[in-house]
Amino acid sequence: MTPTLYPTRSVATALLSVPRQLRPLPSGWARGLWLLSGALLLAQVTNTAVRAQAPAGAASSVAAAAAGRLTGQVVNEKTGQPVEFATVALLDEASGKTLDGAACDDQGRFALAKIGAGRYRVVVSFVGFQPRTVAGVVVEANAAVVDLGPIRLTPTVQQLGEVKVTGERELVENKVDRIVYNAEKDITNAGGSATDVLQKVPLLTVDLNGNLQLRGSSNIRVLVNGKPSAIMATNLADALRQIPADQIKSVEVITSPSAKYDAEGSAGIVNIILKKNNLEGLNGSENSAVGTRGSFHSLTLNSRRGKLGLNANVGANLFYNIARNDSRRTDFLPEGQQSLLEQRGDFTNLGGGGYGQLGLDYDLTPKDALNLSVRGNVFGYTNARSQFTRFRLPTAPLDEYNRDIDTHNDSRNLDLNFGYVKTLPRPRQELSFLALYTVNTGDTDYNLEQQRWADGRAYVDYLENSYNASRNREATFQTDYVQPLDSTQTLEIGVKTILRNVSSDYRVEADSLDGRSFVLVPSRSNNFRYDQNVYASYLSYGFAVGKTLTFKVGGRLEHTRIDGDFRSDNTTLRTSYTNLVPSVQAAWDVTKDQKLKLSYTRRIQRPSIFYLNPYLNTSNPRNVLVGNPALDAELTDAYELGYNTYLNKSSFTFSAYSRQTNNAIEAVSRTVAARDVIATTDSAQLLLTTFQNVARNATYGLSVSGSTKLTAKWTISGNVNYYYMRVQSPALGLENGGTMHNANLTSSWQFDKGWSAQFTGLFNSRRIQLQGRSSGYRSYNLAVKKDLFQKKGSLTLAIINPFNRQLVFRNDLATDRFTYTDNSYFLNRNLRLSFNYQFGKIENRPARPKKSIRNDDQKEGGNG
C-alpha cells in the first residue's frame, strides 16, 4: 500500500482536534512532555511532508510495538464532497472500548497513528449525518499503513429539490436546562405574530395587552436569536406584534440561568429563535396571510457559497382590533361620604410596520468564524378612543363630559451585531469577542377634545395635546473564554460591559378656549435623561462525578452605576451598587431515560424605562399612570427541582420551584387630589398609579409538561402550571395571596395526501396583585393545512376563538380608601388564511457555531 501524503495543516488539525474523551491527556509533568512532543512534531512536518509513521517523540520501543497507521477520507454519500471536521473513533472490536480518535481536516481526511496489531472498528460521525461504522478492520504486525479509502456518510436529509427532514422534532422538548417550543411545527401559528406564538409556550402566559409572564412573574428577559434589542426594552407588547409567527423557529424558556448569563430576569429568560439557514446554495421563502384581525407579507433569501453566507429578510404587517371598556370607582371620603366615578368607552387600534434584516457570516479559517448582522424595524399604530365620564360628589353638581382621544405611536429600531469566535487547539476550547449597538427611538402623541352639554346641545370646552419623544441606546462589549480541564471538567470565564442611555422629552399643551390658544403646562413637561452602566465578570466551573452526576457552579459579580437628571428643573439622581450572584446546578442521570435536576440561583431585576419614565399621561384625567425614576433593583432567590422521564414515545417533565423577592417592584395605586398632580382647580380625586419597591413577593409552584404520540399520526402535548403567590407590603400595610394556574393543550393529526390539522387550547386563571386581582382568559385555535407543489408550498386556514366572540378582562383593586373595577372587552374571533412557498436549491452543509451578545437583563413592562 502506498503511503498517503498529508499537508502540514492536515496533520496539525488531526493532532490538535482529538476529542478529549477519546485521548485522555496526562496530568502534571507528563502533560508538558506530551505538548512538547506535539510541538516537535509540528516543527518536523513544517520542513517535510509527513509520511505514514509513528509521531515524533514517541519511544522507539513503543513505535516498534505499535507502528501501524489507519488513514481514510470521509465524504458525503450524496454529493461526494468531503465532510469537514468529522469525528473518527477507533474501538477494539472484541471489547468495544474506545482506544483512539481524531478529527478530519478540511478535506475530510484523517490519520490514526501508533496502531498495534489487532482487529478494530472505526466509527465516523458528524452533525447532520448518520453515523457510519466500519467493522473488521485488521492491522497486521508488520503493516505500515492501512488505508480505509472513502467512508461515505449519509445525510439526515434527502434532496428532493428541497430539504425534507426525515426525523420529526417534538412540538415541545424538555431539556436539562430549558423547555423548547418548536413553533415551526405548530400550524395554527401561520399568519400570526410572536404574541400568538408565546401564548402557546409552556410556563408562559400572555394577555391581549401583550403582558408576558413566566410562572406568574413578569420579571423576565426576552431575547431574539440570543441577542437583546432596545425595542424589547422600550415596549415589549409592541415589539412582539412586529415579529411574524412564520419567522419563528422555536422559543426557549430558561428557568435557571447559569452564571454565564446576565444576572437579570428573576423568573428566567425567554429566547425567540428566528429561522436561519446554514445550508449551501441559494434558497428562500415567501409568506403571506390575510385575516379579519391582521395581515402580513414577508420574503426571505439565503445564500451560501464556500466560506461566505448571506441572508436577507424583509416584511410588512398590519393589525386591526376593536374593543370597549367600562369602569367604576368608589372613593371613601371623610365623615362616611363617598364619590362615584363611572366611565365607559370604545376604541379601535389600527397599526403595522415593516422590518428588514441583512446578515453575513464568514469562515476566515476552519477555526475562525466572523458574523455581522443589521436589523431594522419601523412600527406605528393609531388608537381612536371615545370615552364618557360621569363623576358624582356629595357636595358638588354632577360632572359629565365626553372625550375623543386620538393617540399616535411611531417607533424605529436598529440593531448592529458583531461576533468573532476563535476555536482553539483543544476540544471545546474557545475564545469569543462580541459587540452590539442597538438604538430605539419612539414618538407618542395624543390630541383630545372634551365636550359637555348645555341646553340640550354639545359644546367643546377643553383641548389638549401631548408629545413624548423617547430614545434608548445600548452599547455592549463582551469577551468569553471556555477552557476544558479534562473530559469531565470545564472552566468558563468572561467579562461584559453594558452602556445604556435613555431619554424622554415630554410636554403637554392645553387650551381652555379662553382665547390664549395652546399653552405649555410646565408642571407636566420635562426632559428626562437616564444613564445606566453595568460592568460584569463571571466564573463558571462544570464537572462530572462518575458517569451519572454532573454539576455546574459559578458566580457573577456585577457593578451598576446610575446617573439621571430632569434637565428642566435640575433635579438629579445618582446611585451605584454591587451584587454577587451565585448559581448552582446539579443533574443526575437516574437511568438512561430519567434525569433529576436541582438548581439554585440569585437574580437581579433592574427596572427598564417603562418603570422609570416620569412622563404623566393624563388623557384620562381620572386615572393616571407615571413611572418612578428612583426605583432600586430587585434581588430574587430561586430554587427548582426537576425530573425528566421518557417512556416509549412519550416524554414528561415535573418541576417544583420557589422564588422569593424582597424589595419587589409593584404597581401601587392611590387616590390623590387632582390639583396636586395636574394644573387644575378641580377638587376631585384621581387614581394615580406608579411603581415602588414596597413588597415581598414569594411564589411556590408545581408544573408538569409532556408530549406523547398516541398513534403514528396523532400527537398530543400539554403543560399545567399551578402555583401559590403571596405579596406583602409592611410599608403600605397591604398583603394579598392566592393560588393560580395556567395550562395549554395541543393535539395534532396527520392525514393522507398532504392534509393535517391541529387544535390548541389555552387556559389562564386570575392573577394576584398587591392591591387586587385580574381575571384569567381562555382561547381556542383550530387550523387545517394542505401541502402544495410537492411540499414546496402550503395553504393554512385557521380560526381563532371560534367559540368566543370576545375575550373579557376584569381588573379589581381594593383598599381602605377606594374600590375600582375595570372591564375590557376585546373582539378576538379571527379567521386567517396564510400561504407559504419555498424556492431554490440547497445542499447539506454543517453550520459553524455563531455567538452573539445576550443582555439578559432589565425588568420589562408595557401594556400596549
Strand 220-224 and strand 268-274: the pairing is: parallel
Cα angle for residues 217, 346, 392 (degrees, 5° grid): 90
Nearest to 168 by CA among 627, 715, 677: 715
pLDDT bucket at 16, cuts 50 / 70 / 90: very low
**Where do the DSSP E strands lie in 455-570?**
457-486, 489-511, 519-520, 526-545, 549-566
Query: Cα(249)–Cα(296) distance, rounded to whole angstroms?
Result: 17
> Which amino acid, residue 208?
L
The confidence score (pLDDT) of residue 29 equals 35
| CA 464 to chain CA mean position, Å | 40
Query: Cα(508)–Cα(506) distance, rounded to whole angstroms?
Result: 7
653-673: pLDDT as tens digits: 899 999 999 888 888 998 888
Which residue's entry shows cell 434581588? 635
Query: Cα(48)–Cα(43) distance, rounded to whole angstroms?
Result: 9
Helix (H, G, I), strand (E, B) or coil at 24: coil
Q: Evaluate if residue 418 carries a pLDDT over 70.
A: yes
Q: Evaluate if residue 55 carries a pLDDT over 50.
A: no
Query: Cα(432)–Cα(420) distance, rounded to whole angstroms?
Result: 6
DSSP track, 94-126: TT--EEEEEE--TTSEEEEEEEPSEEEEEEEE-
The confidence score (pLDDT) of residue 384 equals 95
Q: Evaluate if residue 275 carries a pLDDT over 60.
A: yes
DSSP track, 734-758: EEEEEEEEEEEEEEEEE-STTEEEE
What's the whole-number average pLDDT of the chain?
79
Q: Evaluate if residue 128 carries a pLDDT over 80.
A: no
Instruction: Copy the grid coordinates of residue 213.
Output: 409572564
| Average pLDDT of span 843-854 | 52
Sign for the pseudo-dihedral over CA of 253, 254, 260, 264:
positive
Higher pLDDT, 511 or 618: 511
Q: Evaluate if residue 510 carries a pLDDT over 80.
A: yes
| Average pLDDT of span 360-373 | 88
Question: pTM for the complete prediction?
Answer: 0.65
The confidence score (pLDDT) of residue 28 equals 39
Taking each continuous run of H as one helix and of E as one strand, the counts in the chain are: 7, 45
599-622: pLDDT as tens digits: 998 888 888 777 887 777 777 888
- Lowest mean pLDDT of 34-43, 379-388, 722-731, name the range: 34-43
Query: Cα(18)–Cα(21) distance, rounded to whole angstroms?
Result: 9
| CA 818 to chain CA mean position, Å | 39
pLDDT bucket at 737, cuts 50 / 70 / 90: very high
Residues across the chain: 864
Which residue's entry shows cell 482529538? 18
Higher pLDDT, 839 or 668: 668
Percent of the chain at pLDDT > 70 equals 78
> Which amino acid, residue 732?
L
| Residue 351 · residue 319 · CB < 8 Å | yes
In the chain, the domains with their CATH numbers are: 8-155 (2.60.40.10), 280-843 (2.40.170.20)
519-554: pLDDT as tens digits: 888 878 888 888 999 999 999 998 988 888 999 999
| Residue 113 · residue 125 · CB < 8 Å | no
Beta bridge partners of 210: none
Nearest to 807 by CA among 783, 824, 820: 824
Taking only Cα atoms into account, the Rg of the chain, rounded to an integer number of angstroms, comes to 31
The confidence score (pLDDT) of residue 499 equals 95
